[in-house]
Amino acid sequence: MLTSIQKSATPKRRPSRLLRNKPSVVGAVIVLLVLLSALLAPVLTPYSLEDRDIRARFQPPSAEHIMGTDNFGRDTFTRVAYGARVSVLVALVAVGIGLVIGVLVGSFAGFFGGVVDTVLMRTVDVFMAFPAILLALALIAALGPSITSVMVSLGLVYWTTYARIVRSSILSLKEEEFVDASRALGASPLRTLFRQVLPNAVGPMIVVATVGMGGAITAEAALSFLGLGVQPPTPSWGSILNVGLQFMRQAPFLSMFPGLAIMVTVLGFNLLGDGLRDVLDPRGTTT
Amino acid sequence: MLLFIARRLMQFVPVMLGVLLIVFLILRLIPGDPAAVLLGTEGSEAERLRLMHVMGLDRPAPLQFLFYVARTLTGDFGRSIFQGDSVLNLLQAAVPATTELAVLALIITVLVAVPLGVVSAVRHRSWTDVTITFVTLLGVSMPLVWFGILAILLFSQQLGWLPPFGRGPSLGEGLTSLLRGQPALLLESLRYAILPAVTLAFGSIAIVVRLTRSSMLDVLNLDYVRTARAKGAAPRTIIVRHALRNALIPIVTIVGLQFSALLGGAIVTETIFAWPGVGRLIVNAISQRDYPVVQGSVVFVALFVSLVNLLVDVSYAYLNPKIRYS
ipTM: 0.85
- Evaluate whether residue A238 is within a structural domain: yes
- Evaluate whether residue A200 is within a structural domain: yes
- Evaluate whether residue A275 is within a structural domain: yes
- Evaluate whether residue A192 is within a structural domain: yes
A69-117: pLDDT as tens digits: 777 778 888 888 888 999 999 999 999 999 999 999 999 998 898 899 9
With beta carbons under 8 A apart, name residues in chain A contacting B26. Answer: 138-139, 141-142
- Evaluate whether residue A247 is within a structural domain: yes
| Closest residue by Cα to residue A269 from A96, A151, A92, A148 | A92
With beta carbons under 8 A apart, name residues in chain B contacting A267. Answer: 137-138, 141
Taking an 8 Å cut-off on Cβ atoms, the answer to whether B267 and A137 are in contact is yes
DSSP string for chain A: -THHHHHHS-TTHHHHHHHH-HHHHHHHHHHHHHHHHHHHHHHH-SS-TT---GGGTTPPS-SSSTT-B-TT--BHHHHHHHHHHHHHHHHHHHHHHHHHHHHHHHHHHHHH-HHHHHHHHHHHHHHHTS-HHHHHHHHHHHH-SSHHHHHHHHHHHHHHHHHHHHHHHHHHHTTSHHHHHHHHTT--HHHIIIIIIGGGGHHHHHHHHHHHHHHHHHHHHHHHHTTSSSPTTS--HHHHHHHHHHTTTT-GGGGHHHHHHHHHHHHHHHHHHHHHHHHH-TT-TT-
Contact B262, B207 (CB under 8 A): no
Taking an 8 Å cut-off on Cβ atoms, the answer to whether A134 and B267 are in contact is yes
**Predicted local confidence at residue A65, as pLDDT:** 73
Contact A201, A110 (CB under 8 A): no
Q: Please, which residues bridge with residue A166 across strands?
A: none
With beta carbons under 8 A apart, name residues in chain B contacting A228. Answer: 283, 286-287
| Closest residue by Cα to residue B254 from B97, B117, B138 | B117
**Structurally, how many domains does chain A consist of?**
1
Widest CA span of chain B, in angstroms?
87
B55-79: pLDDT as tens digits: 777 778 888 888 888 888 888 888 8
Taking an 8 Å cut-off on Cβ atoms, the answer to whether A270 and B298 are in contact is no
A10-37: pLDDT as tens digits: 454 566 777 777 888 899 999 999 999 8
CB contact A238 to B (< 8 Å) = yes
Contact B256, B312 (CB under 8 A): yes
- Evaluate whether residue A6 is within a structural domain: no
Taking an 8 Å cut-off on Cβ atoms, the answer to whether A262 and B146 are in contact is yes
pTM: 0.87
Q: How far apart are CA B100 and CA B279, in angstroms?
A: 13
- Evaluate whether residue A252 is within a structural domain: yes
A106-150: pLDDT as tens digits: 999 988 988 999 999 989 989 988 888 999 999 998 888 899 999
CATH code at position A134: 1.10.3720.10
With beta carbons under 8 A apart, name residues in chain B contacting A135. Answer: 22, 298
Smallest CA–CA distance from B210 into chain A, residue: A287
Q: For chain B, positions 119-138, list CB contacts with chain A under 8 A.
A: 137-138
Taking an 8 Å cut-off on Cβ atoms, the answer to whether B145 and A241 are in contact is yes
- Evaluate whether residue A29 is within a structural domain: no
- CA distance, residue A138 to nearest chain B CA (Å): 7
Q: Which domain covers residue A177, as residue numbers?
A: 75-280
Q: Please, which residues bridge with residue B79 across strands?
A: B86
Q: How far apart are CA B233 and CA B245, in angstroms?
A: 16
A249-279: pLDDT as tens digits: 877 888 888 999 999 999 999 999 888 888 8
B246-269: pLDDT as tens digits: 777 778 777 777 888 888 899 999
